[in-house]
Amino acid sequence: MADNENVVTLTDDNFQEEVLESDVPVLVDFWATWCGPCRQIAPIVSDLADEFEGRAKVGKVDVDNNPQTAQEYGVRSIPTLLFFHDGEVKEQLIGAVGKGQLSKKLSALTGQPA
Amino acid sequence: MENGTPENGSVNGTQTDILPDLSAFDGVDFSNADLHDVVIVGTGPAGWTAALYTARADLEPVVYMGPEPGGQLTTTTDVENYPGFPDGILGPEMMDRFHEQAERFGADARYGTVTHVDFRERPHRLLIDEETPVYAQTVIVSTGASARYLGLDNEQRLIGKGVTACATCDGAFYRGETVAVVGGGDSAMEESTFLTKFADKVYVLHRRDELRASKIMQERAFQNDKIEFVWNTEVIDVLGEDAVTGLEVINNETGETRIMDDVSGLFLAIGHTPNTEPFEGWLDMDDSGYILTKPDSTYTNVPGVFASGDAQDDEYRQAVTAAGTGCMAAIDAERWLQENGRVSPEPARPKTSTHDDPVEAAAARS
């Protein structure tokens, strides 16, 4: 779960390096400890991190501790899931979403079938 | 309760001969599909309670958690009206506990959404996330309901950018700002009261001049001096390019429209719509999409398919009533299975019980 080492803890400080300069697509989960739906999808995000290991990166931004990043991307609803590639937001999903949908979008960005 | 052939299926309570679209099943290979005694669709109080009871009845239920695991309670704060919790309990925590209790007795909870069903014959066929095939001897539908939006174009465009239906998720983004809550029921009162922890000012926009919220919730909101009620008022447009910068509203008594340009957040609390779309054309529903059940039971029009929780309840919609009907569905499904037995999928499988069938035992492990 939260201690899955495949899930990168993203911060205002490392966002540039870990996400914007990443060689592979990155799924970024904006969340907070007090958000019920965020807690419910956390295991899905963790699973995806394992399934896409090496092909895509999965990271989480705690919006309470990293307001700058959340603000930068206009996040006003959580969970918000942004898909980055080559330093740009390619897709976004807002609210709790199914694993299938996330997996498909991430696959599309990696250029490989799920 | 005759049989589940599509000829007897109906839409919105009226008989029809239209076969629901089965094209999603084209090309899906069911030959190695898992076969379960009970598939539970949804994980609110109804789904988890059905899972708990069917698990304790050794029916090895599989629970598909859907796109909003835990359901509506995950978007609430304190649940103060669930018996047995005199000090209240947080909605998300309560759903974690339901989940834990069901799994303790062997319920198999899986991520995935039941997107399509084929109820023509038994065992029933389901598709998970449009692609994974599953067979079910019985199905318990407990898909609940999701927040309703106004349906305005700009509202839809700005969801997540100032428009939201989850105050507990998003309230903290509106620290020091002015927001509007639309609605007049308990959830509107709860959300507006909650939002005053962050926002400087909370308007409650209600299209009537009185609330249908319970007295205790109304009183709390009336006593909060950050909340201002705006009566007889409806939102007709949401303003802003990349973020909400205001609302256009109309007073439905005078017809006068005006712009509320101090509002940067729009919170919807105008009720819910049932999540019954995958079952349209198979299960009898009322005009709003709520599944119709046989009186004093959870039986739907399709044998072996039961409905519980808010998916079939437009009236009470409480955690405790959802849990109650989830329990009923589990008992109905268990008795129905006892009376009607299990069937093997056509054509290949031998007619033995599911637990003894080596083909299924192998498939069930995959």
Q: Are residues B199 and B259 in the same domain?
A: yes
B72 touches chain A (CB under 8 A): no
Q: Are residues B175 and B236 in the same domain?
A: yes
Taking the C-alpha atoms of residue B200 and residue B361, their distance in angstroms, rounded to an integer, is 60
Q: Do A37 and B166 touch (CB under 8 A)?
A: yes
Active-site hit among A8, A27, A35, A70: A35
Asked if residue B1 is part of any domain, the answer here is: no
Q: Are residues B188 and B111 in the same domain?
A: no
> What predicted TM-score, i.e. pTM, was given to this entire model?
0.79
- Radius of gyration from C-alpha coordinates of chain A: 13
Range(s) of the domain holding residue B24: 6-146+272-365
- Return the amino acid letter for A30: F
Asked if residue B299 is part of any domain, the answer here is: yes
Report ipTM (2 d.p.): 0.74
Q: Are residues B33 and B181 in the same domain?
A: no
Taking the C-alpha atoms of residue B136 and residue B131, their distance in angstroms, rounded to an integer, is 16
Asked if residue B125 is part of any domain, the answer here is: yes
Q: Are residues B257 and B283 in the same domain?
A: no
Q: Are residues B220 and B128 in the same domain?
A: no
**Other CB atoms within 10 Å distance of the CB of residue B288:** 13
Q: Are residues B13 and B122 in the same domain?
A: yes
Taking the C-alpha atoms of residue B82 and residue B320, their distance in angstroms, rounded to an integer, is 6
Asked if residue B33 is part of any domain, the answer here is: yes
Asked if residue B26 is part of any domain, the answer here is: yes
Closest partner residue to B111 (CB to CB) among A74, A76, A99 is A99
Q: Are residues B229 and B81 in the same domain?
A: no
Q: Do B160 and A41 touch (CB under 8 A)?
A: no
Asked if residue B233 is part of any domain, the answer here is: yes
B89-95: long-range contacts at Cβ-Cβ below 8 A with a sequence spacing of 24 or more? B90/A36, B91/A36, B91/B168, B92/A36, B92/A39, B92/A40, B94/B319, B95/A36, B95/A40, B95/B43, B95/B44, B95/B45, B95/B48, B95/B70, B95/B71
Out of B244, B268, B292, pick the residue that ends a domain: B268
Closest B-chain CA to A82 = B160
In chain A, what are the domains? Answer: 7-110 (3.40.30.10)
- Going from the C-alpha of A27 to that of each of A20, A55, A65, A81, A110, the distances in angstroms are 11, 11, 19, 7, 11
Q: pLDDT for B9-60, tens place per residue? A: 444 444 455 678 899 999 999 999 999 999 999 999 999 999 999 999 999 9
Q: Are residues B282 and B314 in the same domain?
A: yes
Q: pLDDT for A55-74, tens place per residue? A: 999 999 999 999 999 999 99
Burial (CB count <10 Å: 0-12, 13-18, 19+), residue B251: middle
Q: Are residues B140 and B192 in the same domain?
A: no
Return the pLDDT at B80: 87
Return the pLDDT at A113: 55
Return the pLDDT at A100: 81
Asked if residue B48 is part of any domain, the answer here is: yes
A94 touches chain B (CB under 8 A): yes
The residue among B63, B168, B170, B242 with the most chain A CBs within 10 A of its CB, best to mutate, is B170
Q: Are residues B140 and B279 in the same domain?
A: yes
Number of domains present in the structure of chain B: 2
**Other CB atoms within 10 Å distance of the CB of residue A56:** 22
Out of B217, B236, B268, pick the residue that ends a domain: B268
Out of B226, B243, B268, pick the residue that ends a domain: B268
Active-site hit among A27, A38, A41, A61: A38
Taking the C-alpha atoms of residue B62 and residue B92, their distance in angstroms, rounded to an integer, is 21
Residues in chain B, pLDDT under 50: 1-15, 349-366
Closest partner residue to B70 (CB to CB) among A36, A44, A77 is A36
Residues of B with catalytic roles: 166, 169-170
Across the range A79-94, mean pLDDT stands at 94
CATH of the domain at B60: 3.50.50.60
Asked if residue B98 is part of any domain, the answer here is: yes
B359 contacts B344 by C-beta, under 8 angstroms? no
Q: Are residues B126 and B192 in the same domain?
A: no
